[in-house]
A = this chain, B = another copy of it.
Amino acid sequence: MTEQKPGPCSIIKSFDIIGSKWRLVVLNDLQGSEKRFNELKRSTEASSRTLSRVLKELVSEGLVEKRVEKESPIATYYSLTQKGRELFPVFEEVDNWAEKWLET
């Protein structure tokens, strides 16, 4: 019997990593360019506590990188790794679906 769709194993593994609303929101928000913590806070509308936790999780999963700028203005920047950037087609498809099915 051939299986057309992905088996539950790889899908469950993927959704352990990206199957949470705030992780998805942050990953989507970083698709454009690197951002500072406060920029992300503003654009995602996540609380500081949630955003800190989610960024830490995404860094530990290898999807996001943290860069500390020591020159003035001192700041911490977050950006996607290659593994995170390659989720872009997933977001494009979610957006296509949302445009058709959700009232905005």
Number of interface residues of A (CB under 8 A): 46
Q: Is the interface of A mostly helix, strand, loop or mixed?
A: helix
Contact B86 A14 (CB under 8 A): no
A13–B95 alpha-carbon span in the complex (Å): 10
Per-position contact with B for A1-34: 1 when CB-CB < 8 Å, else 0?
Answer: 0001110111111111111111111001101100
Counting every copy of the chain, the complex holds 2
Contact A32 B4 (CB under 8 A): yes
Name the B residues within 8 Å of A31 (CB-CB).
5
Given A5-B32, A97-B90, A104-B9, also A21-B19 (CB < 8 A): yes
Per-position contact with B for A66-104: 1 when CB-CB < 8 Å, else 0?
Answer: 000000000000000001001101111111111111101
Name the B residues within 8 Å of A14 (CB-CB).
94-95, 97-98, 102
User: What residue of chain B has the Cβ atom nearest to residue A87's Cβ?
Assistant: B97
The 7 lowest CB-CB distance pairs between A and B, nearest first, are A19-B21, A6-B95, A15-B21, A89-B93, A90-B93, A10-B98, A14-B98
